[in-house]
Amino acid sequence: MRRDLPLGVISANLVHAAGESSPGNLAEGTYAVVLQVPGEPELLALAERLERAGLRPVRVVESDPPYAGQLMALGVPPARKEILRRHLSSLPLLR
């Protein structure tokens, strides 16, 4: 990954590269965005809200110290924009 880019661009492109290299056969026109929350409690709450809505986020939990056992990120599978916006539109982009 290039280090001469802003953090938000780096993050979005890392996610994009992961999606492009996955065997998951993502549909044409699938977008990757990186949103942020203030901390782990808010990320846990978001995960629970998404699960209740049936969106099934993938929880990324760190296994190594110093963050071992902590929820670090969520991956949200592709879904219709209107559904995702309902649950994610209040979150700012990572910049």
Domain limits of the chain? 7-88
Structure tokens at 82: 């209107």
Task: Give the pLDDT mean for 13-17.
Answer: 84
44 SS3 class? helix
Neighbours of 8 (CB within 10 A): 16
- Tell me: the pLDDT tens digits for 33-92? 899 999 999 999 999 999 999 999 999 999 999 999 999 999 998 889 999 999 999 999
- Tell me: the pLDDT tens digits for 78-90? 889 999 999 999 9
Beta carbons of 75 and 57 less than 8 angstroms apart: yes
Structure tokens at 5: 């880019």
pTM assigned to the model: 0.85
Beta carbons of 60 and 71 less than 8 angstroms apart: yes
